[in-house]
Structure 1
Amino acid sequence: MPSFFHKLAFILCLSLLLQACSFFTNETKEDEYVGWTVEQFIAASKLELENENYKKAIVTLEQLDSRYPFGAHSAQTQLNLTFAYYKNGDAEAALASADRFIKTHPRHPDVDYAYYLKALVNFNRELGFIDRYIPSDATQRDSLFTQTSYLNFEELLRRFPYSQYAPDVKQRMVYLKNALARHELHVARFYMGREAYVAAANRTNYILQHYQGTPAVPYALEIQIKAYKILVLHGLADESTEIYTYNYPDGPVLPEADSSDVVVVPFIWSIFAFDR
């Protein structure tokens, strides 16, 4: 039976072998671009982007950026690299690349595009297994990326109100605001189910203060009225009822969410306590 030291020696040898293989592989990749001019890199990366071969485009653009970091092409290279990272699903790399461009070229005429890409990365963040394989309602999960994306778009509009991306940004912000409000509704219902009525009422107050104009408002009022009645806060319940009756005499005007939305089975919410 091999001794401990024999095993250790084998592991070390295997580790060194793997590192050597990796080294030679990287050397081979780099050798592929030996002698390439800026024009060759630009033409090759443009072709890869047009063909939607984003992995190959990333390799070419990274080589261009590292070998020729300065020049008239530099800013566009960084923007293209940010876009390629985004389309390839490399969220962290795309965010870092966008931030780098914003810091390096704050007065560039296309800097609004870097802000736009940064917001899109968070807007389209993958949530892994749940999204790919289980029909679900994204608003029942952590809203961190939704909030971050909303703030990114908000910053873009504040800095560049006349950007060509402004119309699209405004539409996305409406969607995100509705999603954030609906997330708060889920949390309020969660608290109601746990008989945490004060917490539920506080959540509905937050919706009324921060998400006016969203479809979630009348549903928040319904929860709030019920919570106040259970807490024997009749004065507050009457005030909320008056507001609800005045604004929604026939009930909510809009459905809480688009009818095409798929809602995860309620018990999943309770099991995992998605109350953030």
Structure 2
Amino acid sequence: MATRNDYKSSAWTYGSARLLAAVFAGCLMAACSSPEPEIPETPVEILYNNAKDALQTGETRKAAKLFDEVERQHPYSKWATQAQLMSAYAYYLVDAYDDAIPALERFIELHPGNRSAAYAFYLRALCYYEQIEDVTRDQGNTEQAQRSLSDVVARFPNTPYSRDATVKLDLVRDHLAGKEMDVGRYYQVRGQYLAAINRFKTVVDKFQTTSHVPEALERLTESYVALGVFAEAQKATAVLGFNYPGSPWYQDAYSLLNSKGLTPEGNEVEPPIALVDPSAVKGTEPAPAVEPMAAPPSDIAPAPDAVPVDPVTGLPLPDQAAPAVSAPVPSTDGPALSTNSAEDLMAPEPGSEPSGEQVLIPLGDAPAPQ
């Protein structure tokens, strides 16, 4: 019984300790999650200057909160508009892009004609630009950066923000092209050539000014050759050679076509020229010249004229019942064709002769008449 009581006492002590630990942890969490003390009502000049001083001393997050407070406490003052932009800038400095971007979009929506609107557009583009991931990752922020930078260039073409946005826009496009190339190589290695071709064509069509175009054209040649579509492979190689003649990618594509007996111009590779005259080799005599053979004369007599017969008795009809049949007039351009000759069988029907001089098709190996 004592042992049982001791066991109960130990279990109760252990359970109590766990309960106390849980209560203590809950108190800590409650203390940590308690809201920050509200900033009392303060004149707008003092509040804005305090936020500006906090920003200059490196207390960036505190400065962002104070700028937000300026807008909350004094929404109609002349400082509220500038406080919106300064709050977004403070969040940008500490890489709090999820807070900076909504603040900038609210500023752009409420004050599109403000003199700082160009800077707001530019800062929003920077927030997306600095979140660009590696080409192996999702490129959602890269696409957002492209749209935002394009807005800056289109809306404010004669500003320093536009010049810097133009440079960054080229880098963004090159990055997007690199993503397409990475996916295209993935499909190509696995033999999914149609999917790879779509990716490479996207690079050629949409990102023509990037550094990935020569490789995309060479990869298109490889994929088309693998599918047996040689005409498209020749076209891709021709474009590659015209725009990047000294590129190693063009050398690879050209060599690949040559291995298939083709050229980028759409012709077959010419056979190699013999360096030694075959007649000069000992024991080899040149083949004698073959005289052209004349067409053999036809010795088959033409068929007689048809004789009309009675359809009932089958006997020939009197001469007067037979209709007058005019004999065919032979052509003056050449000898008349025999009715049963091979040339006659290959001749066109009367009235269907093509215009121009008629050339008879020779028989066998006989050359065509000159």
TM range (shorter): 0.7 to 0.9
**One-letter identity of the residue aligned with 2:120:** A
Structure-2 residue corresponding to 1:65: 71
Structure 2: how far apart are the matches of 1:221 and 1:122? 30
Q: Provide, for residues 132-191 of structure 1, a one-character-per-residue CA deviation record: whole Å limited to 9, x for no partner.
A: xxxxxx223222111110111112222222333111111110111111111111111111
* 1:233-248 equivalences in 2 (<5 Å): 233-248=229-244
Q: Answer yes or no: is 1:225 the counterpart of 2:221.
A: yes
Structure-2 residue corresponding to 1:181: 177
TM-score by length of 1: 0.77
Question: Once the 2 structures are TM-superposed, how far is the Cα of residue 240 of structure 1 from its aligned partner?
Answer: 0.6
- Choose from 192, 198, 209 the match for 1:196: 192
Alpha-carbon contact 2:47-2:70 (below 8 Å) kept:
yes
- Which ranges in structure 1 are unaligned for 5 or more consecutive residues? 128-137, 254-276
- Look at both structures and tell me which one has the larger radius of gyration over its CA atoms: 2
Alpha-carbon contact 2:135-2:175 (below 8 Å) kept:
yes
Question: Once the 2 structures are TM-superposed, how far is the Cα of residue 241 of structure 1 from its aligned partner?
Answer: 1.0
Structure 1: how far apart are the matches of 2:28 and 2:243? 72
User: In percent, how many aligned pairs have the same letter?
Assistant: 28
Secondary structure of residue in 2 paired with 1:153: helix
Report the aligned-residue RMSD: 2.7
Structure-1 residue corresponding to 2:83: 77
Q: Structure 1 segments of 4 or more deviating over 6 A?
A: 7-14
Q: Answer yes or no: is 1:251 the counterpart of 2:236.
A: no
**One-letter identity of the residue aligned with 1:61:** F
- Which ranges in structure 2 are unaligned for 5 or more consecutive residues? 1-10, 250-370
Residues 252, 149 of structure 1: alpha-carbon distance in 2 compared, 3 angstrom cutoff: farther
Question: Once the 2 structures are TM-superposed, how far is the Cα of residue 212 of structure 1 from its aligned partner?
Answer: 0.7
Structure 1: how far apart are the matches of 2:160 and 2:174? 24
* 1:88-167 equivalences in 2 (<5 Å): 88-125=94-131, 138-167=134-163
User: Which has the larger share of helix?
Assistant: 1
Structure 2: how far apart are the matches of 1:22 and 1:148? 34
Residues 234, 8 of structure 1: alpha-carbon distance in 2 compared, 3 angstrom cutoff: farther
Q: Answer yes or no: is 1:87 the counterpart of 2:93.
A: yes
Q: Provide, for residues 213-258 of structure 1, a one-character-per-residue CA deviation record: whole Å limited to 9, x for no partner.
A: 21110010011100000010000001111111122221169xxxxx
Question: Once the 2 structures are TM-superposed, how far is the Cα of residue 14 of structure 1 from its aligned partner?
Answer: 6.2
Secondary structure of residue in 1 paired with 2:61: helix
Q: Answer yes or no: is 1:54 the counterpart of 2:60.
A: yes
Alpha-carbon contact 2:132-2:141 (below 8 Å) kept:
no
Structure-1 residue corresponding to 2:36: 26
Structure-2 residue corresponding to 1:209: 205
Alpha-carbon contact 1:219-1:252 (below 8 Å) kept:
no
Q: Answer yes or no: is 1:37 the counterpart of 2:43.
A: yes
Structure-2 residue corresponding to 1:170: 166
More contact order relative to length (CA 8 Å, sep ≥ 6): 1
